[in-house]
Structures are given as C-alpha cells and as structure tokens.
Structure 1
Amino acid sequence: MNLRPLIARLEAAGIPDAARDMRKLFDWAYAKGAASGDPQDRDQPNALTRQHLEAAVAERVLRKPVSQIIGTRSFWRHDFHVTPDVLDPRPDTETLIDQALGETFQRVLDLGTGSGCIVISLLAERIQAQGVAVDLSEKALAVARGNARDIGVADRLTLLQSDWFSNVTGRFDLIVSNPPYIATSEMPDLAPEVRDHEPHMALTDGGDGLGCYRSIAAKAPDHLTRGGRLLVEIGLTQGQAVTALFQAAGLRDVQVIQDLNGHDRVVAARSDR
C-alpha cells in the first residue's frame, strides 16, 4: 500500500516524524484487519485495515497522540495500556528506572503512578519486591490496575487513591515519582499532543512547577527506611531547586542525574533517619 499520501497529510498537519508515526499506525491497523479473516498483505491490506488506518490518520491529524490511538505505549521492557486519563510513558523516564535498579529494594512506593509504568517495571525486574502505588485519579488507578494484571505483578502491588502521602502508611526503602512539574506559565507552549490530550492534573501543579516536590520533600523522610532512597523525575531546569528542597528536608547524598541526552532528568537522595 502506498502510504505517501497519508504521510503527506500528517506532515501538512505539522506532525514531527510523520513517517515513523505512519509505520506505527499501519502496523496497528494491519493487526486489526487480520481479525476480519479476510486475506491481506502489506501491499494490499483488506478493507478493515484500510478503515482503521483512515480513522487513525484522521485522529492523528488532530494531534491525538499515537499511543492514545492505538492504546499502548512501549516502556522499558513492556507495552503499557494508555488512555487520556494517564500520561504517555516517555523514554526519558527510563533514566529513573535505571537508577532505581542500581541498588536492591524490597518495598517501593510510587507517588502519582498514572499508568503504573514506573512501579510495574520495577516490580517486574525485582520479583521478590512488593509495591504500593498511589494516584489522586481513580481513572488512572484503573489503568494501572489493568497494566499490573497484564504484566503479571498485580499480586505484589497495592493501589491506593491518595493525595501524595495522605493514605500511605509504613516505610519504604525506595520511593519514586514522576510528579506534575510543568509551571502554569509553560503550559501554552507544550506540544498539542500533550497540552490538549493528556490530563492537566498530571502535567502541572497549577503554580511554579515545584509544588509537588515541596509536598514530597516534606513527607518522604517519614516514609523512608534509614538509608532508603528517593528518586524523582524533574524538568530540565529544576535540578538546583529540587536539590535545595531535598537538602532542606534533611535528605543526604542529593545528586542530579542526567539522561542519555545529557539533560538533568532525575534527582536522587537518601534518608538519614
């Protein structure tokens, strides 16, 4: 099938790397078309494939994220179900996963879990570990619950509706979070895929972008074991500010970790209590 006209439609809509997106949409539509039982090949897809592909392109032209169109996003070693109720898992967040797996842990807490991609990836790698994940959104927790079931860690993961630590009890040797860190003033400049299609409560704190880190810093020491680690994802310019917040909270060994592109991406700290 000649995909050039469809790619041109995406390019005209301002889609970056339209050819890459078209490959993903075509593969998804082709798999859907197979369900009809009608014969097809990639040069001559059947009617159902063409129908799904046309609908997908129409949605992508409106800047709906590919992951929301096809319903999944690859992250770390698994495919995660995503909906408009959760953030699209991003490759940058794998920096946090890599750092978390650098030491052993038995109990992990994920604050603002969304799709569950962070805690589920960690539990899948550490089969003896137990996890707790919280989110303020019940719809997000439903997505995380399904992902935990599909990836096989549901028996080791407790999901709670909670405003950060409000419903959390006990201590953990690892706390992780990718909190809302976009300042209100930055929201208009986001890509349409993010600004118009992802949940704003998962993107911004409604203020300067540091509010969630203040909440985490205030309570994390009460929920970390002695020597336990805190790892949070940050925006590109927030390393110094988040470092100061964690140090003021009495956390030690605070450091900023860069991603593969050389950007500040994670702040790590350790409990001294």
Structure 2
Amino acid sequence: MTRAARETFQTIRDLIRFGVTTFNEAKVAYGHGTDNAYDEAVYLTLSTLSLPLDKLEPFLDARLTAAEINSLIQVFERRVANRLPAPYLTHEAWHLGYRFYVDERVIIPRSFIGELLAERLAPWVADPDAEINVLDLCTGSGAIAIQAAHAFPNARIDAIDLSMDALKVAARNVADYGLSERIRLIQSDLFSQLSRERYDLILSNPPYVNADSMQRLPPEFQHEPSMALAGGKDGMDLVRKILRGARTHLNRGGQLVLEIGHERRNFEAAFPEMAVTWLSTSAGDDAVLHIAQDRLP
C-alpha cells in the first residue's frame, strides 16, 4: 500500500472498513473465534490498539496516529499474506469468556466440551461441588482443564499431552488462572505414563480429523500443529486408543466425555455396538458423546 493511500485513513472506523474489504477480497477462512470479516477486523483492531474488546462504539471515530495506522495495516497484511489465524497474531484466544495465551505450539481453543462444562455437565455430574478426580486427555493449551477447574471447584485435575511444547503453553495458562495447585500437567502418550490413577471423569478433545479432510483444510488451519488435528485415515486412531484404555482409569460409575467433531459416521462405523449418548452443543447433537464406565470395552 502506498504512503498516499495510508494517509487517507484517519479513524478506527476507516481501518475497520479497510480490514473488512481486505479480508473479503482475500477470501480468508475463519473459525478461530470469529466467522466473518467484520468481527475479525474489529477484534484485530481493538486488540492491536489495546482497547477493550467489548467497547467499540466509543472509539469508532477516534483519530489514529500514523504509527497506529501502520501497525494495524501490518497486522491486516500478515493476516492475509500468511493466512495466520487471528489468535496467533494477538497471542490470545477467547472461548466462552475465558482468555488463553496461544501460539503455534497449540491448536486454538474451540472445543464444544467447554459449552457442557459451562453447565457443569448437568445432569451427568450429580454433585459438581464434590471432590472428584478429572483427567483431561490431549490438553493442548490447557483450556478444557481450566474450564473444568471452574466448573468443579473441588476437583483435582490431571492434564495430559504428548507434546512438551503444548504443555509449556498450558503451564502458562494454568499459572495465569492461579490453578497450578489443582491442575497437574503430565507429558504422556495418552494413558502410558499413568500407572494406577483412576478418575471420576475423563474429558478429551483428541485429534480426530480424517485424512481426506486434513488434505482439504484451509491454510489457516494448517498453521495449527497437525499432531493435534490428524486422526488417521478415518479420524479414529486416537479415539480407538482412548476407548481401549479409559475403563481401566475410571472409577466405578465414572464417565467419559469425548469430542469427535464431524466424524460421527466414522465413529459409528468403527464402533457399531457401542452404546453412547450424544450430547447437544451449538454444533448439533453429534459432535460430543458420553459413555458410562460400565459400557466401555
């Protein structure tokens, strides 16, 4: 963009309009906190200018300095040229009112399990204030573990991931929420580093994207760690391992809550005899399932 073109911008309103046009013309992909060009431009503008994310109106006609205009244009250009998801540009992700630090070592939090935790997993958890043991498999940024800690204030939580890089990000988020004494981070290939630990509740948003879908992911999603997304040919590689090991690590009456995204058809093909309950979320009734301990293999 030429200097003369930059000088035509004066206000936040001008820059948001420019951002919307830029994103629409570039046909960027969304799904990491926003689903349209306007919300994306507003978020990046407010975040870059260190303004409150919930207060756009008072600032719309505020005049910007040349340095602020240049900073915003650079952010918009990086978003388009590199197809980086917005949270990787700002190093923060917002999910259901929670703020998490993120970078390219972890996928950006968006699990539908968070919606169920906001309701304290009712009616499946009879007493959410009881002292329970919770396991978060494939914790990534630690988002589910942190949300579970708030849903169940007396729970002790183990959060597991194979990636040490992901666990470093999770440690930062756990510390930010002051939960280091309640959430234990463990590097493990699923259950491999657990000996006789048993839990009342296992939560997992594992890699489940099937191989064909992985090939068709927009560039924005390809910036996320593939090991946190790819679930093998039918998306069920990690799911199979979780279902084989979960019963051993659940107390009597324990429960598994498992997210599989858009893979219900592949799940039912892989496990035709398994009795599960599909839970309702904003994604519909087939993205998250519940299995009681005594129904696990």
Q: Shared fold (TM-score greater than 0.5)?
A: yes
What is the rounded CA distance, in whole Å, between the counterparts of 2:265 and 2:19 in structure 1?
A: 41
Determine whether 1:14 maps to 2:33.
no
Q: Which moved more, 1:3-12 or 1:133-142?
A: 3-12
Q: Is residue 136–residue 162 contact of structure 1 (8 Å, CA) maintained in 2?
A: yes
Please state how far the C-alpha of 1:130 moved relative to its aligned partner: 0.6
Please state how far the C-alpha of 1:256 moved relative to its aligned partner: 1.3
Q: 1:247 to 1:82 in 2, by over 3 A?
A: farther
Please state how far the C-alpha of 1:76 moved relative to its aligned partner: 2.6
TM-score for the superposition, normalised by structure 2: 0.81
What is the rounded CA distance, in whole Å, between the counterparts of 2:250 and 2:268 in structure 1?
A: 18
- Equivalence for 2:108: 88
Q: 1:182 to 1:191 in 2, by over 3 A?
A: same
Figure out how many residues of one structure are paired with residues of the other and give that number: 261
What secondary structure sits across from 2:284 in the alignment? coil
Determine whether 1:71 maps to 2:91.
yes
Please state how far the C-alpha of 1:272 moved relative to its aligned partner: 2.1
One-letter amino acid matched to 1:256:
W
Of 202, 207, 220, the match for 2:233 = 207
Determine whether 1:270 maps to 2:295.
no
What secondary structure sits across from 2:254 in the alignment? strand
Please state how far the C-alpha of 1:53 moved relative to its aligned partner: 1.3
Q: Is residue 77–residue 121 contact of structure 1 (8 Å, CA) maintained in 2?
A: no
What is the rounded CA distance, in whole Å, between the counterparts of 1:181 and 1:206 in structure 2?
A: 8
One-letter amino acid matched to 1:8:
T
Please state how far the C-alpha of 1:99 moved relative to its aligned partner: 6.5
Q: 1:187 to 1:244 in 2, by over 3 A?
A: closer
RMSD value over aligned CA atoms? 2.4
Q: Structure 2: 5+ residue runs without aligned partners?
A: 1-10, 30-35, 52-58
Aligned counterparts, 1:115-264, within 5 A: 115-169=141-195, 170-195=197-222, 197-238=223-264, 241=267, 245=271, 254-264=276-286
Q: 1:137 to 1:233 in 2, by over 3 A?
A: same
What is the rounded CA distance, in whole Å, between the counterparts of 1:177 and 1:49 in structure 2?
A: 41
One-letter amino acid matched to 1:76:
L
Determine whether 1:27 maps to 2:46.
yes
What are the Cα deviations for residues 73-92 of structure 1, in whole angstroms up to 9, with x where unaligned?
11233101111111111163
- Equivalence for 1:46: 65
Determine whether 1:59 maps to 2:78.
yes
Q: Is residue 171–residue 222 contact of structure 1 (8 Å, CA) maintained in 2?
A: yes
Please state how far the C-alpha of 1:208 moved relative to its aligned partner: 1.8
Q: 1:28 to 1:220 in 2, by over 3 A?
A: same
Q: 1:216 to 1:243 in 2, by over 3 A?
A: farther
TM-score for the superposition, normalised by structure 1: 0.87
One-letter amino acid matched to 2:62:
D
What is the rounded CA distance, in whole Å, between the counterparts of 2:93 and 2:21 in structure 1?
A: 24
What is the rounded CA distance, in whole Å, between the counterparts of 2:115 and 2:48 in structure 1?
A: 31
One-letter amino acid matched to 2:163:
S
Identity of aligned residues (%): 34
Please state how far the C-alpha of 1:238 moved relative to its aligned partner: 1.8
Runs of 4+ in structure 1 displaced over 4 angstroms?
none
What are the Cα deviations for residues 167-207 of structure 1, in whole angstroms up to 9, with x where unaligned?
02310000010000011121121122112x10000000233
Q: Is residue 111–residue 164 contact of structure 1 (8 Å, CA) maintained in 2?
A: yes
Q: 1:239 to 1:129 in 2, by over 3 A?
A: farther
What is the rounded CA distance, in whole Å, between the counterparts of 2:272 and 2:188 in structure 1?
A: 22
Q: 1:119 to 1:93 in 2, by over 3 A?
A: same
- Equivalence for 2:18: 5
